[in-house]
Amino acid sequence: MKAVLRKAFSPILNTFEKGSSDYAYRPSHRKILITIGVLFAFLCGFIVFLTQASEGFGFLIPVVVFGGVSLVTLVVGLLGTDEAVANIWNSRK
């Protein structure tokens, strides 16, 4: 299942998995990345909940931004390699 998801999200993962081979990875970086992704997902859902009765489409800008950040951080945090997690934090040795 993980291989199928990695293939589906390969455009996102390839962005962070390429680069130099010198990186500093700590397991706490992955945990923090997943936590940030969950928080942004809740924020995106909360905005949709609050604005579902509005007439305009101005709420779509924060939904797209927060949803995109949530998607990227969760994909890299859950499916990415240690190098991808280190690259998103810009951690070098």
* CB 81, CB 17: distance < 8 Å: yes
Tell me if 79 sits within 8 A of 13, measured CB to CB.
yes
pTM of the entire structure? 0.87
- For tokens 């949803």, the residue is 67
Residue 77 near residue 9 (C-beta atoms within 8 A): no
Q: Break the chain into its structural domains and give their ranges.
A: 2-14+22-89
Length of the chain: 93
Per-residue pLDDT of the chain (93 residues; tens, 9 = 90+): 989 999 999 999 999 888 767 788 888 999 999 999 999 999 999 999 988 877 778 888 999 999 999 999 999 999 999 888 988 888 776
